[in-house]
Structure 1
Amino acid sequence: MTRESDVVPGHRAARPGAGHGGAGYDGGGYDDGDRASDAGGGRARRRRRSKKEIALWVLAGSLALTVLAGGVVYYRLNGNISTFDGDGVSKDRPDAAAPDAQGRTPVNVLLIGSDSRDGANKDLGGGVEGGARSDTTILLHVYADHKHAVGVSIPRDSLVDIPSCMLPNKTWTKAQTHVMFNSAFEVGNTVQGNPACTQNTVEKMTGLRVDHTVVVNFQGFAAMTSAVGGVEVCVPKAIYEGDLDPNLGHKGKQIFAQGQQKVSGAQALDYVRLRHGIGDGSDIGRTKRQQAFMSSLIKDVKSKGMDPTTLLPLADAATKSLIVDPGLGSAQKLMSFALSLKAIDLHDMKFLTMPWRYEGARVAVVHPDADQLWAALKADRTLDGQDASASADAQSPAPAASSSAPATPAAVNGAGVRVAVYNGTSTAGLTLKASALLEASDFTVTGKANASTRDHRTTLVQYGPGERAAAQKVAALFPGATLEASSRAGVSLVLGADFAAGDGGSSSDSVPSGPLPTSVSSAARSADDDPCANLSYG
């Protein structure tokens, strides 16, 4: 029998039967009902704690798995991405854009579609064995506010000047004048193409610094369209096998029905590469369909939400066949850039083709319209003349643009005369002004660049053997210009300080004074336009 003195301090002594259904402790503590209740409550609390702990562990585990999975995905994407050699980018480049008052800067991205036959591209209709060409090129200007963007298509057959470019063996080529634009991508004749040379060419032609360059081949393009579940397109008229392959020799079976339809994979590729059977069968018409396709793709991605959930599958498909500049060579950078575009409204995403005209079977750049377009983008002005760097409430329509083409002597007929134009001063924009003068009198400008020396006081016209008469025609447009014979063929115009002082120095770097010419602005397509409108040329 337990005595009072035998009770261990801090413990209650059990009376006979306690814990066996007998009377409870009578010292004012628990009775059996309280004990049972307490035991049940403890189990309930333990169950509640257990459930909370499980939930927390599940949440923590899920987050860990999500982070791990995200890391694995990004690691895989990084492994997919290839970069081209940045050493091939010209050292003589336009300056980077200055930040606006809010510290924001515009971004120029060069998008190149390659027709390389390397690997699986051969099965999708890639180009000539052993090399690659730029099948499609778009210069995408994302404005500083990241609420507007313009994609300018550069026709592959455009006649341009290609500057010195680096070959695979690290040597540099000589500059070329008046050659097809897509030949820049072929320099070096490799299956990867030469993105740096195309970038150099675009920078020289536009005066805009290209911040990033992205090359996607046929395989990557087809995979991207499948990753988003197909893209809605419109076909102006039914298309047959013979339209896709003019060498087939017969009409063949129908490939595309007339009207709207969804395409993906190889069929989507057939759509954007289709030239014949619609309009005049030119690359210009194909460019219009490519712009409509891009609009539809952007619309589809935005409708699903531009977030990693949507973009990662698309990025996984794209990066397997992607070549980018070293500055964009990680999944994080690619994803960050893609997400930076989410605030752009479909109506404010524009597509247009660089001002052009036919020159025989090729395409010539139209000046000064093209020059005004590049100047507007450099000034971060939208196609309607608005300053995208300013806040929305500060924007107001700019005054009407005055004609940029100066008066020219009617007596000068430059038809058939080809002239290279050089700026022999430190005043910017002279070559654009002089080129406008020359082209208004039917001279053909073969190229624009800075002269080797920039201290010319007077304008100089140099000419090769037998070309004095042509040089005299050029000099007639530039009062005070001197003539100089040269052993090198061709006519060159070297602009001096006298031309700069005589209202020739209206800089291309200055802000355009209003909306762009209708030849530019009226041809623009918004990403929310009717998918069946403006799909062909001729």
Structure 2
Amino acid sequence: MTGNRTVGADGGRGSRLRRTAVSGLSLLVLLVAGIGWGWLQVNGSIGTFSADGISGDRPPDSSKGQNVLVIGSDSRAGENSGLGGGTGAVGRSDTAFLLHVYGDHRHAVAVSIPRDSLVDIPACKLPGGEWTAPQHAVMFNGAFSVGETAEGNPACTQNTVEHLTGLRVDHTVVVDFAGFSALTSAVGGVPVCLPHDIHQRDLSPERPTRGARIFAKGPQTVSGQRALDYVRLRHGIGDGSDIGRIKRQQAFVASLIKKVKSQGLNPGTLLPLADAATEAMTVDPGLGSADRLLSFAMSMKNIDLHDTKFVTVPWRYEGARVAIVEPDADALWAALKADRTVDGQDVDGKGPAQRGGAEGRPSSPRAAAPVSGTGIAVAVHNGTGVAGLAARAAEQLRSRGFTVTTTATASNQDHVSTVIEFGPGLRDAAETTARFFTGARTTASTTAGIRVVLGSSFARNPVVGPRTPTASAAPSAVSGGVRSADADPCADLSYG
């Protein structure tokens, strides 16, 4: 982790004019000294991670808005060691969400990605400089642990999110336990609400007795360690799942935003928050200065609380893990890419029926030209335990003009989504192939040619065709679970 510090110097000769200017500015200096000096201190404590680990195979910067990946690290290294939970110094991603700030800077949505989600992790850079091989159908939070360092691997998580969503991540921010604890204290505590009393065993299930009460039923304000205990709490509330905990974390962040906005978004009120948070915050180089952080924070000052939404990517259980549901997730990412809200509205207030095509006619987001595989050769590998799946896919591919060079069984049969691996110079052909399979992902490979590795998503839904999910509205699985930042903290107390 590296720090940045802005330092000014004046080495010129003294003069009457200069002395007069300094005297004239003395009052201004006194007025802003608290903010200015503090801001320089903040500027010197901002940690950045290297951009060398960001993949060169990135989605185009086509979104009208801005995408910010926020990662909560549960590393117990350094100042985090005394803040509870787990052991070990390897940085892990305890929570993560992708914040989409719409182009009008008046709407925003945060999409939570469960840590146990089964995803494909693309090639990522290790501390020694070498790159890993892509991983298929592994837990999402494994991306942050690639390299097994105390600070984690935020670049790898960013690569994984871009690979998953097809959205370019503009900025990445990592906040660890110490930063979270300090932030909640600096804001003066965050209002929360609980449906019943919470005891020590609810936080630490290995305890033989329920222990003392640590949270009382009803509304209360938490900060520091108590705030951390609240967002870590899992077993004593709702259904005891990590999905339920995500809902509670969303409610907490919503309440935190409401508290910050109630104090006013200006440099004076943001300084103590920034001073507290940046001591334990790591950001990408694009946010690696106090000025940039302030500019980003101030750019969101006009976002209304009701227009700040929290959702979870469409999901279902896959054994003990979580599978991301397609094509619902693709529809959500497409809506964000088109800068449309989760209720299907453009940020200018126009709904799908009001959006005209090139000739003024209503556009049809689902309409897409049939996929033609003419001139594209692919090898098809069955990445599942379903017999005959590769032959079935090959037959359908040939019906669309593809040349299938071979069918085989993949080395691993645990693929959830279909992956299109492509060699040098074949990106466009791979993207065309991916359109043939619902929810398919593309990934670069050093091996020549195109290889289709079928996932269980194809086994469940073997209907193929253009992969053009509707961008008119998010699926009901998302829109039915939306939480606004202005929601009552005592609403929906089961949290799962």
- Note if 1:457 corresponds to 2:457: no
* Partner of residue 246 from structure 2, selected from 248, 267, 287: 287
RMSD (Å), alpha carbons: 3.2
1:424-443 to 2 correspondences below 5 Å: none
Alignment correspondent of 1:305: 264
1:76-475 to 2 correspondences below 5 Å: 76-97=41-62, 105-125=64-84, 127-388=86-347, 390=348, 395-398=350-353, 456-457=375-376, 460-462=379-381, 469-475=388-394
1:190, distance to aligned residue in structure 2 (A) = 0.6
1:22-41 to 2 correspondences below 5 Å: none
1:204, distance to aligned residue in structure 2 (A) = 0.2
> Rg: which structure is higher?
1
Amino acid at match of 1:504: G
1:401, distance to aligned residue in structure 2 (A) = 11
TM-score, normalised to structure 1's length? 0.73
**Partner SS for 1:382:** coil
1:59, distance to aligned residue in structure 2 (A) = 8.2
Whole-angstrom CA distance in 1 between matches of 2:113 and 2:370: 22
**Partner SS for 1:205:** helix
1:35-58, Cα deviation, whole Å (9 max, x unpaired)? xxxxxxxxxxxxxxxxxxxxx999
Whole-angstrom CA distance in 1 between matches of 2:313 and 2:157: 16
Amino acid at match of 2:65: P
1:49-75, Cα deviation, whole Å (9 max, x unpaired)? xxxxxxx99984331123444332121
Q: From the superposition, tell whether residues 537 and 360 of structure 1 become closer, same or farther in structure 2 (CA, over 3 Å).
A: farther
- Note if 1:504 corresponds to 2:465: yes
Q: Which has the higher contact order (CA 8 A, sep 6+)?
A: 2
Alignment correspondent of 1:489: 411
- Is the Cα contact below 8 Å between 1:188 and 1:194 reproduced in 2? yes
| Overall identity of the aligned pairs, in % | 56
1:285-335, Cα deviation, whole Å (9 max, x unpaired)? 000010000111111111111111211111100001000001100011111
Gaps of 5+ in 1: 1-55, 99-104, 407-426, 435-453
- Is the Cα contact below 8 Å between 1:461 and 1:493 reproduced in 2? no
**Partner SS for 2:81:** helix
Amino acid at match of 1:398: A
Whole-angstrom CA distance in 2 between matches of 1:213 and 1:193: 13
Alignment correspondent of 1:71: 36
Alignment correspondent of 2:3: none
- Is the Cα contact below 8 Å between 1:220 and 1:319 reproduced in 2? yes
- Is the Cα contact below 8 Å between 1:458 and 1:498 reproduced in 2? no
1:340-364, Cα deviation, whole Å (9 max, x unpaired)? 1110111000001110001111100
1:505, distance to aligned residue in structure 2 (A) = 3.6
1:76-121, Cα deviation, whole Å (9 max, x unpaired)? 11111100011000010011136xxxxxx41100000000111120
Of residues 208-217 and 466-475 in structure 1, the stretch that sits farther from structure 2 once superposed is 466-475
Alignment correspondent of 2:473: 515
Amino acid at match of 1:517: P
**Partner SS for 1:117:** coil
Q: From the superposition, tell whether residues 340 and 506 of structure 1 become closer, same or farther in structure 2 (CA, over 3 Å).
A: same
1:122-154, Cα deviation, whole Å (9 max, x unpaired)? 100254313011111010000000000000000
**Partner SS for 2:91:** coil
1:517, distance to aligned residue in structure 2 (A) = 1.8
Q: From the superposition, tell whether residues 305 and 58 of structure 1 become closer, same or farther in structure 2 (CA, over 3 Å).
A: farther
- Is the Cα contact below 8 Å between 2:197 and 2:213 reproduced in 1? yes
1:185, distance to aligned residue in structure 2 (A) = 0.4
Amino acid at match of 1:245: S
**Partner SS for 2:144:** helix
Whole-angstrom CA distance in 2 between matches of 1:233 and 1:473: 53
1:355-393, Cα deviation, whole Å (9 max, x unpaired)? 0001111100000110000000011011111122x4x5x
- Is the Cα contact below 8 Å between 2:144 and 2:157 reproduced in 1? yes
Alignment correspondent of 1:42: none
Q: From the superposition, tell whether residues 215 and 458 of structure 1 become closer, same or farther in structure 2 (CA, over 3 Å).
A: same
Whole-angstrom CA distance in 2 between matches of 1:269 and 1:499: 42
Runs of 4+ in 1 over 4 A off after TM superposition: 56-60, 399-404, 427-430, 463-468, 476-479, 490-503
- Is the Cα contact below 8 Å between 1:478 and 1:499 reproduced in 2? no
Whole-angstrom CA distance in 1 between matches of 2:190 and 2:162: 32
Whole-angstrom CA distance in 1 between matches of 2:177 and 2:148: 18
Q: From the superposition, tell whether residues 428 and 243 of structure 1 become closer, same or farther in structure 2 (CA, over 3 Å).
A: farther
Amino acid at match of 2:273: L
Q: From the superposition, tell whether residues 118 and 462 of structure 1 become closer, same or farther in structure 2 (CA, over 3 Å).
A: closer
1:534, distance to aligned residue in structure 2 (A) = 2.6
Whole-angstrom CA distance in 1 between matches of 2:101 and 2:116: 25
Amino acid at match of 2:183: M
Task: Give the total of aligned pairs.
Answer: 427
